[in-house]
Amino acid sequence: MAVWLLASVPPLFADACYTLAPEMIQRSAAIAIIDISKVEPIQAKGDHWTYRERAHATVHRTLKGSLPKTVSFFGNENFICAQVRFQPGRYLAFLRKDGEKFVGANWELSVRPIKDDQVEWYAQKERLDLSWQPLAAVLDQVNDLIKRSR
């Protein structure tokens, strides 16, 4: 009886599942270069999570999907293992939809910081290690993966 009871109890904790670039790009409804100008606390319910942060951003270039010129993204999910945390700045963003809200497609790896002409990106194809790389080369790689995922 005790064994059946323990086997029938759902797990109380879960780990975040991070994806590499090809899967993140395939899962993304939108990919864009954005400038986050403001981050504010909020309580907003999606279909899957409750979000405690909203970022206001200007879209400079859309690589996949469709985004308005100004858009809000939601983060700081109520999932203790991983959250998207926004800061003002320029990013290469990978977004999915949770209901009607745009949210990160790969937890905190969803918003890759851009500094000058460099972006923090996957250092190796099979690992989650990140390194600063030329933005133009990363955009070429992302565009190639978008074409292959169609």
pLDDT digits (tens, 9 = 90+) for 118-149: 999 988 776 778 999 999 999 999 999 999 88
pLDDT > 60? residue 20 = yes
Average pLDDT of the chain is 85
Condensed to tens digits (0 to 9), the pLDDT of residues 53-94 reads 999 999 999 999 999 999 999 887 776 665 677 899 999 999
The domains located in the chain, with CATH, are 17-149 (2.40.50.120)
Choose among 130, 128, 120: nearest CA to 93.
120
Cα–Cα dist 7/2, whole Å: 9
Q: Is the pTM higher than 0.75?
A: yes
Task: Enter the tokens of residue 37.
Answer: 């100008």
